[in-house]
Amino acid sequence: MLNLIEEFTRRCPAIRIDRRLRSVDVIDVLSGQFILRGDPEHIRSNNGPEFVAKVVREWIAAIGARPAYIVPGSPWENSYYESLNGNLRDELLNGEIFYSFAEAKIVIERWRWRQHYNTKRPHSSLGYRLPGPEVISWLAYSTGNPSPATPAVAPGPVMH
């Protein structure tokens, strides 16, 4: 699984599930999110081979972002990601038996999008508020017409 976390909102906008993840998969997930939300200043990642591949480093540099790699053995540098992984494991994976790869993709995506992490689970770092309503309420209640720079919110998850 390739889990993507927005550090500002603590949301998980994407989880890519595949039998093997390569550098092109990382670029595919990130480029889809950048189209929706804009290019970030930094991309924090671990030092897995799919992230340190030359093609990924060149792509990150081409879009103008800077890499912020995590030192191996330093989970405190990536606390949001570690929190997501722990909650995914405790709240979903430890209690499920997947009978097919397709079932795993659907159940995990459902947990991520509708069921739990982004909408129902309070985050202690946000004062035990939900991450979803904060972002949605800003878009729904902003005054005036949205500017062209305002990202469009997808109506639901998209399975690739």
**What share of the chain has pLDDT > 90, as a percent?**
19
Please list, in sequence order, all residues whose beta carbon lies within 8 angstroms of the beta carbon of residue 151, skipping any fewer than 6 positions away: 36, 37, 38
Question: How many structural domains are present in the chain?
Answer: 1
Is residue 79 pLDDT above 50, yes or no? yes
Whether the Cβ atoms of residue 38 and residue 152 lie closer than 8 Å to each other: no
Range of the domain at 23: 2-141
Say whether pLDDT at 61 is over 80. Answer: yes
Assess if residue 157 is contained within a domain: no
Interior angle at CA 1, CA 118 and CA 139, nearest 5: 25
What does the pLDDT look like over 17-56, one tens digit per residue? 999 989 999 999 999 998 888 888 888 887 778 888 889 8
The verdict on residue 158 lying in a domain is: no
Residue 160 included in any domain: no
Pair 5, 129: CB distance under 8 Å: no
